[in-house]
């Protein structure tokens, strides 16, 4: 028997009468989006599906029955630990305990459940290390551990999760080198390592076609260093030639439940409560990467977000990025701004602050919508919307001159220099003379007084010139 009572105004405790509905044959109960504060009197004996999400449940976490398949209690105020009794629920497929106040360690037996497809523990206060005993042949497709206090390293046993599509361990205290052993997960589409303590360069193993399905790659706010690995980006086939028409407006889901992750999108940190299957982004910000931006990034023509800000990246912006026609967010790159980028019709966010960019700011299409705030701190840029006008050769490096130019240069450059200096000196002396009121010495010079007198007069005026200077 099924009973759906979501989005009502049921409050306080769950009525005891639910235990007698259908003479105890109630298998599906949906009480989500209400104002319940306690599940104390609810019997868990026969439930196949139980959804208590988005209530105000307090106290300890209810323990589901061994026969339950779907147990959902996210977005409540539950506290305490996960009891080892959860491991008796060997039929569990979806376990969502996210957005509560749960703490303690994860029972190791939890990651050995054979049918578990989604384990969502994000936004709690769990501590310790991630269990290292993921079983071979498990069914796990999504693992959400974001915003807890996990420490240690990512376990190598994650390679047993051959069906894993989403791995989100962001905002913890996990450390270690880049986990390139995850290349073995051929179904992986979302990899989020942001806000941890990872370090060293990102390097690949000997796996053929690593991360070929990856669409969200976020390693921001760590201590990764070294150059950007072009061989990795070249393998991100999930970001190339996406057919938006054929894909339609579809979302990543598991057994009918939408997956959610948190990303930085268009300069803001947002939680995607539904991940559209065509969404692609790379976030490498706030690390220690150096070197140049690989040209191969221009091959990721379905990329929507690219953030390389707050690194040590140098060199020009690759012209190949003009091929990324669906790009909506481009943050903080270095070098010159290729005019071809003006053809990015979908570009909505541009952040090039505090770099050493030079030359003219491209005009046309989306670039005409960006204010001067997008370019602050780049003294070498010119043209609208900046206040600096562009000369004809603005931003160009000096070219070696030929022998003919050298000969011409030896003639006109001293003349121009002398003319400029003479004009400045003349204006200055004129100001000095007329400020005295009676420039008689100057009149005598031009009236034809002897040179000796003129020299003597200049000697007496030089000290005055120095004092005024």
Of residues 457 and 354, the one with the higher pLDDT is 354
Q: Kindly indicate the confidence band of residue 447, based on its pLDDT and cuts at 50, 70 and 90.
A: very low
* Cα–Cα distance for residue pair 427/422, rounded to 1 Å: 9
3-state helix, strand, coil in the chain (%, to 5): 25, 25, 50
**Does position 180 have pLDDT exceeding 60, yes or no?**
yes
The pTM for the full model equals 0.79
Dihedral of alpha carbons 399, 404, 405, 407, sign:
positive
Note the pLDDT tens digit of each residue in 74-122: 999 999 999 999 999 999 999 999 999 999 999 999 999 999 999 999 9
Of all helices (H) and strands (E), which one includes residue 456? helix 451-468
Position 332 scores a pLDDT of 60
Rg (CA), the chain: 34
Question: Is the backbone peptide bond immediately before 385 cis, with ω within 30 degrees of 0?
Answer: yes
Note the pLDDT tens digit of each residue in 139-159: 999 999 999 999 999 999 999
* Cα–Cα distance for residue pair 128/105, rounded to 1 Å: 6
User: What's the mean per-residue pLDDT of the chain?
Assistant: 81
**Does position 374 have pLDDT exceeding 50, yes or no?**
yes
Position 164 scores a pLDDT of 98
Position 422 scores a pLDDT of 45
**Does position 398 have pLDDT exceeding 50, yes or no?**
no
Under 8 Å between Cβ of 51 and 75 = no
């Amino acid at each position: 028997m099924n009973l759906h009572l979501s989005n009502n105004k049921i409050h306080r405790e769950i009525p005891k009468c639910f235990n007698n509905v259908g003479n105890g044959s109630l298998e599906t109960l949906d009480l989500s989006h209400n104002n319940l504060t306690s599940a104390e009197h609810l019997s868990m004996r026969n439930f196949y599906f139980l959804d208590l999400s988005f209530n105000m449940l307090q106290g300890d976490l209810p323990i589901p029955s061994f026969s339950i398949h779907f147990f959902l209690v996210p977005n409540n105020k539950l506290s305490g630990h996960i009891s080892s009794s959860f491991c008796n629920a060997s039929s569990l497929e979806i376990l969502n305990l996210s957005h509560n106040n749960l703490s303690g360690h994860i029972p190791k037996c939890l990651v050995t459940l054979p049918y578990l497809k989604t384990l969502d523990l994000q936004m709690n206060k769990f501590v310790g290390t991630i269990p290292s005993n993921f079983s071979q042949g498990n069914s796990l497709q999504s693992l959400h551990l974001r915003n807890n206090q996990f420490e240690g390293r990512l376990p190598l046993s994650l390679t047993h999760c051959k069906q894993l599509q989403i791995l989100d361990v962001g905002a913890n205290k996990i450390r270690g080198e880049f986990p390139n052993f995850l290349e073995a997960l051929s179904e992986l589409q979302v990899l989020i390592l942001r806000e941890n303590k990872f370090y060293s360069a990102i390097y690949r193993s000997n796996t053929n076609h690593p991360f070929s399905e990856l669409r969200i790659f976020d390693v921001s706010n760590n201590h990764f260093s070294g150059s950007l690995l072009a061989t990795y980006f070249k393998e991100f086939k999930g970001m190339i030639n996406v057919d938006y028409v054929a894909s339609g407006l579809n979302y990543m889901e598991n057994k009918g439940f939408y997956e959610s992750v948190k990303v930085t999108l268009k300069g803001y940190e947002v939680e995607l409560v539904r991940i559209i299957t065509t969404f692609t982004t790379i976030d490498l910000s706030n690390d220690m990467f150096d070197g140049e931006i690989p040209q191969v990034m221009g091959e990721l023509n379905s990329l929507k977000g690219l953030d390389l800000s707050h690194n040590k990246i140098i060199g020009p912006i690759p012209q190949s990025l003009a091929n990324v026609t669906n790009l909506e967010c481009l943050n903080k790159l270095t070098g010159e701004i290729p005019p071809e980028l003006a053809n990015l019709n979908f570009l909505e966010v541009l952040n090039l602050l505090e770099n050493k960019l030079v030359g003219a700011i491209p005009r046309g299409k989306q670039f005409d919508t960006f204010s001067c705030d997008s370019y602050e701190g780049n003294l070498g840029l010119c043209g609208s919307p900046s206040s600096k006008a562009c000369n004809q050769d603005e931003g160009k490096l000096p070219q070696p001159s030929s022998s003919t130019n050298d000969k011409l240069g030896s003639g006109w450059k001293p003349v121009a220099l002398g003319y400029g200096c003479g004009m400045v000196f003349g204006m200055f002396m004129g100001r000095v003379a007329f400020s005295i009121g009676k420039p008689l010495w100057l009149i005598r010079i031009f009236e034809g007084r002897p040179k000796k007198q003129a020299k003597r007069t200049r000697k007496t005026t030089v000290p005055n010139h120095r004092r005024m200077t």
